[in-house]
Amino acid sequence: MKKIITFLTSALLIASMVFVSCGGASASKGAEFIIGNGTEPQSLDPSKIEGVPEHRIYMALFEGLVAYNPETANAEPGVAESWTISPDGTVITFKLRKATWSDGVAITAKTFVDSWLRTLDPETASNYAYMIGMVVKGADAYNTGNGPREGVAIKAVDDYTFEVTLTGPAPYALDMMAHYAFSPLPMHAIEKFGADWIKPGNFVGNGPFVLEDWAPQEKLTVVPNAKYWDKKNVFLSRITFLPIDDNNTAYSKFLAGEIDWNANPPLSMLDEIKLRDDYVVTPQVATYYYVFNVTRGPLQDVRVRKALNMAIDKQELVDKVMKAGQLPADSIAPVMAGYTPARGNPYNVEAAKALLAEAGYPNGKGFPKQTVIYNTSEAHKIVAEYIQQVWKTTLGIDIQIQNVEWKTFLDQRHNHDFEIARAGWVGDYQDPNTFHEMFLTGAGNNDGAYSNPKYDELVRKAGTMPGGAERMQVLHDAEEILITQDQAVMPLYFYVDQHLIDTSKWTGWYPNSLGIHPYKGMKKAK
């Protein structure tokens, strides 16, 4: 995924229509599952989405070559029923099952060729195209306008054999391909309806569910896809996604039995919530951080960026503010099997003051007004207020904090139209590369416009290496540049995955380190 962490998104202005899309099945059997999903999805187009709420909907409506195992979040067969990897690890050959879209149109190897090329097309402006570019030979060159479309090393060997040539023996490539950047797309529907293909009545998908209705700012519903290849394991009769951006409102609806899964419990009620039997919390491969726009004003000076970071007591932040078991972060990537993150610049108020003075702002004197933007969420606001107070009391600088509606927030970040912005990242696969690839020069999620050729060189080198200690050391060295040397971002804490769901009532829902919860196999316990 996955993806920028936010539990909030924006409205896409679409007229509400109430009927079942092509291939939709009647919602007469099984149980309805209602999700407090944060807010309106940004889009339903896999080439365009980028947030957690969108990812939750995506997993109902689409399925890639591989899918996420609900217990481990590792790759398992999806549209591809099997695959082989060449002895040198650089070529993956997928054998596709005879699956169809929800309107009965066949999904073939050519479907994946056309879909990936559409996501990579610079005109599509997909923020996640760089993920394909990281692992597929020739993809980055095409996406950045430096190579031909024909140079992308993907091939339909025959209707049901799809071949991918990698940039190197990337050990994470298969797990990575469960992400929506690698999704098949209903090109026939896109060609027919253009941008309106995601509307009810026009929508075509290949996942376990299909779009039923979308009433903006009210709800989005999906029902079982009668054409899904594994429909025998789809038990829910309907999933309803509610765009509730107020955490306390969502919690009240959960308590009233109007929501079955609330993935965003309110921070203000956490002491009470932690006592509940239906509160589920697990460690997560995810980092909460602030992005510095390294092209703006005083933030161009690395001494300023380091001072801002070193003034924050991150242990205090997680202990006294967040209080859910989060861990303080000085690195962008959490600890993973075989990987030791960079240490970063530790909390040191006196050193922070000295760096700020050295940069020309003794005790904050003359420091220009800066603004921290965040998207609507109680927790984001509380963190911003904490940061605001700390920087005032320790460094003598004043900052403004600004709540910004989700779509505008994303636009400002992607257009580099901000000074400091809240951000978060849940790993899309269980490898440190999922964090490091974001900050490559020109990458779609490199919102702070960071660029360091040595960093790029190391991350891309790691992408061509086999798994093992040597590769992990290269990624560690890259992170040292990003965090310790350049302080391009300010890591704050490593997330825990928090949910309100009664797992004695709903079976087939499992906690996992990526916080990814597929719906196939879920059912209401008898």
Domains and CATH numbers, the chain: 32-242+502-524 (3.40.190.10), 282-497 (3.10.105.10)
* pLDDT at residue 376, as a whole number: 82
Phi-psi region of 467 (alpha: psi -120 to 50; beta: other; left: phi over 0): beta
Sequence-distant (≥ 6) Cβ neighbours of residue 413 within 8 angstroms: 291, 373, 421, 423, 447
pLDDT tens, the chain, 526 aa long: 433 333 333 333 333 333 333 444 444 467 999 999 987 898 999 999 988 899 999 999 999 999 999 999 999 999 999 999 999 999 999 999 999 999 999 999 999 999 999 999 999 999 999 999 999 999 999 999 999 999 999 999 999 999 999 999 989 999 999 999 999 999 999 999 999 999 999 999 999 999 999 999 999 999 999 999 999 999 999 999 999 988 899 999 999 999 999 988 998 899 999 999 999 999 899 999 999 999 999 999 999 999 999 999 999 999 999 988 999 999 999 999 899 999 999 999 999 999 999 999 999 999 999 999 999 888 899 999 999 999 999 999 999 999 998 888 988 998 999 999 999 999 989 999 999 999 999 988 899 999 999 999 999 999 889 899 999 999 999 999 999 999 999 999 999 989 999 999 999 999 998 999 999 999 999 7
Q: Is residue 239 within a helix (H) or strand (E), and if so which, with residue range?
A: strand 238-242
Residue written as token pair 């309805």 = 32
Q: Find, among 425, 443, 422, the residue nearest to 434 by Cα.
A: 425
Give the separation between CA 428 and CA 175, rounded to whole angstroms: 8
**Angle (nearest 5°) at CA 414 between 410 and 415:** 115
Q: What secondary structure letter does DSSP report for 368?
A: P
Q: Cα(first)–Cα(last) distance of the chain, in Å?
A: 32
In sequence order, the β-bridge partners of residue 156 are 162
Residue 144 and residue 442 in contact, taking contact as beta carbons nearer than 8 Å: yes
- Give me the count of residues in the chain: 526
Residue whose pair of structure tokens reads 């091939």 in the numeric block: 155
Burial of 414 (0-12, 13-18, 19+ CB in 10 A): middle
- With residue 279 as reference, give the H or E element that holds it: strand 279-292
Give, in degrees to the nearest 5, the angle at Cα 31 between 30 and 33. Answer: 140
pLDDT of residue 301: 98
The pLDDT score that the predictor gives to residue 255 is 96
d(CA 4, CA 6): 6
- Using alpha carbons only, how large is the chain's radius of gyration in Å? 23
51 vs 10, 118, 151, 180, 493, CA distance in Å? 10, 20, 30, 11, 19
Taking CA atoms, 227 is separated from 17, 63, 231, in Å, by 22, 13, 7
Helix (H) or strand (E) holding 421: strand 420-426
Question: What is the residue type of 388?
Answer: Q
Q: Would you state the pLDDT for residue 51?
A: 84
